[in-house]
Amino acid sequence: MDRTFLRLESTMNLMSGIVVFLLVMLAVGNVLGRKFFNMPVPGYVDWTEQFMAVFAFLGLAYCQREGGHIRMDIVVGKLRHRPLWFAEFLSTLLMLILTTALLYGTFFHFARSFDWGSPLWSRDSSIDIALPLWPAKLVVSFSIGVLWVRLALQLWGFGRALRTNADNPVAVPIIEDPTTQAMHEAEGVGASDG
């Protein structure tokens, strides 16, 4: 299930990268249009706001799977086996509770913004060119829903590791200590130079 779900997370992460690329192209078009033709992109700020909401949230679950979020491992980094799995289980449970609240809130904001009966199905829009805001709100809510599923999978993985005292549990990120992480990063840089 972890590997199957990774396909969705990877696709969303790729889409996030594409949106960043499109945002850069939009910025280049805006600068060139303003400089050479005295015609900036209409609604540039509105488009940028929509794109930022999309690319900021699409990669959340993938980053969680890879263990890429910023962590404070001063204490947890010293733990091994069951104490480590218990600490990770507890922190994942707390993240899952917080994510549940965020999922409810973001879906509520999407539902408040979406309206079948109005033009473009929107009750609210951006200030400059009146872009409907519901698509970005839906992407945020969907991305947090995918993160919720990832956290539920990790909670199961940490619970299983806690029960079996596994050395290499499945469906959870294995966080490297700073020395090992620096060594892997140095190897990556050395491989690209060679």
Query: Which tens digit of pLDDT belongs to each residue from 17-67?
Result: 999 999 999 999 999 999 999 999 999 999 999 999 889 999 999 999 988
Residue type, 118: S
- Using 50, 70 and 90 to split pLDDT, how confident is the model at 156? very high
pLDDT digits (tens, 9 = 90+) for 54-105: 899 999 999 999 888 777 777 777 888 899 999 999 999 999 999 999 999 9
Contacts 24+ apart (CB under 8 A), 143-147: 143/12, 143/57, 143/58, 143/60, 143/61, 144/57, 144/60, 144/99, 144/102, 144/103, 144/106, 145/103, 146/8, 146/9, 146/12, 146/60, 146/61, 147/60, 147/61, 147/64, 147/99
193 pLDDT more than 70: no
- The two tokens of residue 72 are 């404070």
* 193 alpha-carbon distance from chain centroid: 30
Whole-number pLDDT of residue 14: 96
- Using 50, 70 and 90 to split pLDDT, how confident is the model at 162? very high
Whole-number pLDDT of residue 194: 52
- Using 50, 70 and 90 to split pLDDT, how confident is the model at 188? confident
Q: Mean pLDDT across the chain, nearest whole number?
A: 89
CB 145 within 8 A of CB 103: yes
Which pTM value belongs to this model? 0.87
Whole-number pLDDT of residue 22: 95
Residue among 152, 27, 52 nearest 99 (CA): 152
Give me the mean pLDDT over the 107-131 stretch.
86
More confident residue, 182 or 152: 152
Q: Report the C-alpha gap between 159 and 137 in whole angstroms.
A: 33
Q: Report the C-alpha gap between 194 and 191 in whole angstroms.
A: 5
Rg (CA), the chain: 21
128 three-state secondary structure:
coil
CB-based burial label for 49 (10 Å; 0-12, 13-18, 19+): middle
More confident residue, 183 or 142: 142
Q: Report the C-alpha gap between 47 and 55 in whole angstroms.
A: 12
Whole-number pLDDT of residue 192: 56
Whole-number pLDDT of residue 159: 95
185 pLDDT more than 60: yes
Give me the mean pLDDT over the 126-132 stretch.
89
Q: Report the C-alpha gap between 98 and 96 in whole angstroms.
A: 5
122 three-state secondary structure:
strand
